[in-house]
Amino acid sequence: MRSLMLKLLTIIIALSSFSLFAADVNAELDQKVTTFLQKAIAPNESYTFDKVVILKKEEMKDLAGWMVYFVRIDLMLTKQEGKKLSVNDIVFTNGKILSKDFADINSGRSLKGRYSLDMDVRAYNKEHLLAGNFNAPHKIVVFSDPLCPFCMDFIPEVIADVQKNPETFALFYYHFPLNIHPAAPTLVKAMILAEEKGDKEIVAKVYKEFFDIKESDEKVVLDIFNKALNKNFTVEQINQAHILKQLNDDQDLATNLMVNGTPTIYFDGKKDDSKRSYRNFIKETK
């Protein structure tokens, strides 16, 4: 019995030593990454370097021995005292080499898209609840652009699924107008105003319209919106400070999560590239 106890004690000590060694190695690699990024940023008359924050790290799925780091780089703006600019990025390293990206040799696609940050639980708020029960066990978060063709198909579909299963899902909607759709910000601001005025179905109504607007003039775009949805909003109304703030807040969340396309879907805190994972739980409820 004493011999067995000694063997167990030896194993425990060995495992503890390994854990401490691994922690030291990880800490050393973290320091290498942050130091490299700090040196890579050349201060200029507009900003100075503040710090690098590691938001998350994990082993790469595609390359053994490589790690993916999610980082936030904080810069202090020199011309605006006390103001800070934060930039999120993903980098890859094996401890000897740091790479900004890799490409799949067959598809040519960036590997960055295969990695994502987890959803911030603060995104689950009643102001952004689009359908379902706020306290439902499964959370769906969608970032969408009303002029995105894929969104036009997906958003009505997911709304319908959640409305049929309100005790299973809570669907949260965030505006993310893309630069390739110059009319989208105007539509989004009009949607925010409509909801503020009590039209809780405005998101569903807009996606059912299948807008195809090539115009960039805000008044022209707003006139199209007003005519289609029986509104009489003015350009001044949709550009009120609190409406612009809500749009900016939505975009800030997307930026912090490194969202770069639409529709982007998170299911129970994890980015869902299939956009259909939630449907597995519809089957379970029947």
Give Cβ neighbours of residue 94 (< 8 Å, ≥ 6 apart).
Answer: 63, 65, 66, 67
Q: Phi and psi at residue 47, in whole multiples of 5°?
A: -155, 160
How far is residue 168 CA from its own chain's centroid? 23
Smallest CA-to-CA distance from 231 within 279, 267, 204, 191 is with 191
> How far, in Å, are 20, 22, 55, 139, 157 from residue 152 at the CA level?
51, 48, 33, 21, 9
pLDDT one-digit tens code per residue, 58-73: 999 889 999 999 999 9
Are 48 and 174 part of one and the same domain?
no
Predicted local distance difference test score (pLDDT) of residue 92:
95
Are 275 and 171 part of one and the same domain?
yes
- In the predicted model, is pLDDT for residue 247 greater than 90? yes
Residue 8 belongs to some domain of the structure: no
Residue 262 belongs to some domain of the structure: yes
Task: Tell me what the mean pLDDT of segment 282-286 comes to.
Answer: 59
Are 82 and 127 part of one and the same domain?
no
Residue 109 belongs to some domain of the structure: no
Are 144 and 267 part of one and the same domain?
yes
pLDDT one-digit tens code per residue, 115-132: 999 999 999 999 999 999
Are 125 and 154 part of one and the same domain?
yes
Residue 165 belongs to some domain of the structure: yes
Residue 210 domain boundaries: 121-285
Task: Tell me what the mean pLDDT of segment 260-279 comes to.
Answer: 95
* Domain boundary, last residue among 75, 103, 131: 103
Residue 19 belongs to some domain of the structure: no
Are 71 and 152 part of one and the same domain?
no
Residue 25 belongs to some domain of the structure: no
Are 133 and 218 part of one and the same domain?
yes
15 or 125, higher pLDDT: 125
Are 183 and 256 part of one and the same domain?
yes
Q: Phi and psi at residue 265, in whole multiples of 5°?
A: -120, 135
Q: Where are the beta strands (DSSP E) in the chain?
A: 47-59, 67-77, 84-93, 98-99, 129-132, 138-144, 169-175, 264-267, 270-271
Residue 257 belongs to some domain of the structure: yes
> How far, in Å, are 118, 127, 189, 193, 250 from residue 245 at the CA level?
24, 14, 10, 12, 9
| pTM, to two decimals | 0.82
H or E element that contains 256:
helix 241-256
> Residue 33: CA atoms inside 13 Å, Cβ hemisphere, count?
30
Place of tokens 């949607």: 191
Are 173 and 96 part of one and the same domain?
no
Our count of domains for the chain comes to 2
- In the predicted model, is pLDDT for residue 281 greater than 80? yes
Residue 18 belongs to some domain of the structure: no
**Strand bridging mode 138-144 / 169-175:** parallel
Are 132 and 166 part of one and the same domain?
yes
Task: Tell me what the mean pLDDT of segment 24-30 comes to.
Answer: 81
Token pair for 95: 């401890």
Torsion of CA 30, 52, 118, 181, to 10 degrees: -140
CATH number at residue 213: 3.40.30.10
